[in-house]
Amino acid sequence: MSKRDLKKYVAQLTKEQLEEQIIELYEKFSPVKVYYDFVFNPKEDQLSKEAKVKIAYEYFPVKKSGRRSRPKMRRSVAQKYIKHFISLGVDPFVIADLMLYNIEIAQTFASENAIKQDLFYKSMFNSFEQVVVYLIANAILADFKARLNQIQLAVIDQKWYNISEFDAIMDRLEY
């Protein structure tokens, strides 16, 4: 069904029929419930904190016994939250903060642990590139420039093998 056909169909329905369908969608489909829960009670700060805790756990997991377990370092966890926040229509500043936090927590982990997988560095570069594109697209680059610079400095200090790729992006931002 096309959007046009849907509009025609919805136009034919009475108010009561529309209300019934929305309630049914809300009860039947979890994404609809999540969307309406967010629309009527947008606790962006709370959602952001919860996401940051989950992302940090990927790098610094602690078992209930208090012992640390092996970190998984999955970029996909952060990507899932970022995608979810974008689909909900969360404020771009909150999304950008989460995107940068993902890189910063990974750098904190890398500063304390030797990482031998090149995939980690490539993945963090992809995240960096993605956040820069997002910041430019939402016209909020100036608000986060200092954090981008801090990330670049950490890449240099930690001697990541792909320093030149980070530098190339930062150089383009200067012009």
What's the mean pLDDT when you consider all of the chain? 91
Top-confidence residue, 75 or 125: 125
pTM: 0.81
Amino acid type, 18: L
pLDDT greater than 80 at residue 118: yes
Q: How confident is the model at residue 85 (pLDDT cuts 50, 70, 90)?
A: very high
Query: Is the CB of residue 123 less than 8 Å from the CB of residue 160?
Result: no
Spatial separation of the C-alpha atoms in residues 48 and 91, rounded to whole Å: 11
Where is 17: in which H helix or E strand?
helix 15-28
Spatial separation of the C-alpha atoms in residues 97 and 147, rounded to whole Å: 9
- Residues 122-136 as b/e (b if ≥16 CB within 10 A, e otherwise) read ebbbebbeebbebbe
CA atoms within 13 A on the CB side of 118: 3
Amino acid type, 148: L
Where do the structural domains in the chain lie, given as residue ranges? 1-41, 42-174
Tell which residue, 71, 74, 130, 123, has the closest CA to residue 99: 130
Kindly report, residue by residue over 28-84, the tens digit of the pLDDT. Answer: 998 888 888 888 878 888 899 999 999 999 998 876 666 667 888 888 999 999 999
Tell which residue, 73, 62, 57, has the closest CA to residue 106: 73
Which residues contact residue 165 at a Cβ distance below 8 angstroms, ignoring those fewer than 6 apart?
A: 125
